[in-house]
A and B are shown apart, each in its own frame.
Chain A
Amino acid sequence: MTSLTATAIVCSVRPHGEHGAIVRMLTAEAGLLPGYVQGGRSTRMRPVLIPGNIVRGAFRARTADQLASLSVELEHSRGPLLSEPLPAAAIDWTCAFTAASLPEGHPYPALYSAMSAVLDAVEAAPAARGWAVALVRYELLVLAELGFGLDLSECAVTGARAELVYVSPRSGRAVSEAGAGLHKARLLRLPPFLTEGGEAAWDDILLGFALTGHFIERDLVDPRRAEMLAARERLIERLKRAVA
C-alpha cells in the first residue's frame, strides 16, 4: 500500500464513468499525481474540483503503478475568479499547461512554489500586469525543469554578459546586440525583465510570452496536442485587448 496526504493544486479534472473523476494535482512532495475521486462529479465535489483550487488530497493505492483512489478536501477555492475573463483564462492555461507538460510522479518543488505564486498573484493582483510577469517566468521555469531551459547568462556569440537583447530560436541561448550582427531578424527578442529583473512594460511582457511560446511549442507540446496552445493564444489576445 502506498499513500500520500498532501496539499495540492488541482490541475485537471476528467469525468470517469458516470459519477467519478480522474483528477491530476500538483504536489510539492511528489509532483503531478493522478487519482480517482469517487463521486467526483457530484454536486458536493464539483466546486472542490475546480482547476486552480488548493486542496488536501489523500492518495491511496496498493501498488505504485496503480491509479490511486483520492479523497479531497478543499483548502482554498479560486472559483470566484472564474467570473473574471482574464484571471479565468490565466488559470485555465496555467493548469492545463502544467497537467499536459509534467510527467507524473516526479517531484518538482520549485514548480509547485512557482505555480502557487502565479495563482496567488492572479488572485491578489488588481491588474494583469501583476501576474503576467510571473506567468512568463513560470513558463520559463517549466522549460528549464523539463530540460529545455534557456541560457540567458551570456551571449552565445561574443560571451558578453551585458546588453543581451536576443535569444537564438534554435539553441535557446542569449545573443547580445553586437553578437546578433545580420541575424537580428531571425532572433527572438529578449525582454530585459528576464535578465535584469524589475518592473516590466506590457510590450516586454508580450515579448516574453512570444519567447516562451516558441520553445513551449517546439519542445514541450506534443504535435497531437497542439490545439492546447489555442488557450494560450486566447489568454495573450485577451491581455493585448486589456492593455490596448
Chain B
Amino acid sequence: MSSPEIDALTQALARLPGLGPRSARRAVLHLLQRRDTALVPLLRALESVQERMVHCSICGNVDTIDPCGICADPRRDGRALCVVEDVADLWALEKSRLFPGRFHVLGGRLSALDGVRPEDLAIAPLVQRVAAGGIDEVVLAMNATLEGQTTAHYIAERLESYPVRLTQLAHGVPVGGELDYLDEGTLAQALRARRPIG
C-alpha cells in the first residue's frame, strides 16, 4: 500500500510511452530510494523544461529557446531544408548528424481516415519559407507509408513552382538487411532505385 501521492506519481508515469503499471512502480521506487541523486534532479529537469519549453516559430521543433538551437546555429547550411512529419523524426535525423541543413516539422501527415487536411499541418509556413528564398534543396523525409507519401506528393506539388531542388529519402534495402527476408514491395522499390556501382 502506498500514499495517494505515490499512487498518483505511479499512474502518471504509467501513462508514458514505454512504461506500464509494473515498470512505473519500479521507476517510482527507484526515485524514492534515490531521492537526492534521482528524484530531485528529475524534478528540476521537469520544472525547467515545463517553464521554458517552446515550439520554434521557424521550424516547429521543440526546444527551450525560440528560434530553436538548430535554426539559431550559424554553422547550419540554410540552403538545405529537410521536411519531417514529427519532432521525433527530426530528433532521429539529428541524432545521426548526417544532415547539415535546417528542418521543418509538419506536425503530422495527411490522413483521409483521421480527417487531417493540409490546413491542419504546417504546410503554409513551409511554402512561405521556400518562397522567401535562400533555399536550394528541400528534402522530403516523410515516412514510407501511404499517408507519408501522400503528404510528400502534396508538398511536392505545392513547391513545384519554386526554383528549388526537391528530393526524397531513398526507399529500399536497409543497411544489414538480407534480401531473403524482405517483402516484395521493398525489393521492388530497391530495384527501381538501383544505381551504377563503382
Contacts and interface: CB of A to CB of B under 8 A. Distances in A.
A96 interface: yes
B184 A96 contact: no
Contact of B113 (A12, A226, A234): A12
A51 B185 CA distance: 12
A78 B185 contact: yes
Interface in A54-89: 74, 76-80, 82-83, 85, 88-89
A1 to B, nearest CB: 28
| Size class of the B contact interface (CB-based, 8 Å) | 20 to 34
A82 B149 contact: yes
Interface stretch (B37-45, B61-69, B74-82, B151-159): B151-159
Given A47-B185, A48-B183, A80-B189, A18 B17 contact: yes
Nearest to B189: A80
B18 A47 contact: no
B110 A231 contact: yes
B186 A79 contact: yes
Interface in B139-190: 144-147, 149-150, 153-154, 156-157, 168, 171, 174, 181-186, 188-189
Nearest to B147: A92
Contacts of A88: 146, 149-150, 153
Contact of A230 (B117, B149, B185): B117
15 contacts: A46-B145, A47-B186, A77-B184, A79-B183, A79-B188, A83-B189, A83-B192, A85-B153, A85-B156, A88-B146, A92-B147, A99-B113, A227-B116, A228-B115, A230-B117
A227 B150 contact: no
Nearest to B19: A18
B112 interface: yes
Contact of B115 (A50, A99, A225, A238): A225
* Residue with the greatest number of chain A CB neighbours at <10 A, chosen from B115, B153, B171, B185: B185
B149 to A, nearest CB: 4
B184 A74 contact: yes
Contact of A80 (B118, B146, B168, B185): B185
Interface of B: 17-18, 110, 112-113, 115-118, 144-147, 149-150, 153-154, 156-157, 168, 171, 174, 181-186, 188-189, 192
Given A77-B183, A77-B185, A85-B156, A52 B112 contact: no
A92 B183 contact: no
Interface string A17-56: 0100000000000000000000000011011101111000
A212 to B, nearest CB: 16
Given A77-B184, A82-B144, A88-B149, A228 B112 contact: yes
A215 to B, nearest CB: 18
Please name the 7 residue pairs, one residue from A and one from B, whose CB atoms are nearest each other, closest first: A79-B185, A227-B115, A77-B185, A231-B112, A96-B112, A85-B153, A80-B188
Interface of A: 12, 14, 18, 43-44, 46-48, 50-53, 74, 76-80, 82-83, 85, 88-89, 91-93, 95-97, 99-100, 225-228, 230-232, 234, 238, 241
Given A46-B145, A79-B189, A93-B112, 18 more contacts: A18-B18, A50-B145, A53-B185, A77-B188, A78-B185, A82-B144, A82-B145, A82-B146, A88-B149, A89-B150, A92-B146, A228-B112, A228-B115, A230-B112, A231-B110, A234-B110, A234-B154, A238-B157
Nearest to B149: A82
A40 to B, nearest CB: 12
B156 A52 contact: no
B192 to A, nearest CB: 7
B9 to A, nearest CB: 21
B187 to A, nearest CB: 9
Contacts of A99: 113
Contacts of B156: 85
A231 B116 CA distance: 9
Contacts of B154: 234
Contacts of B145: 46, 50, 82
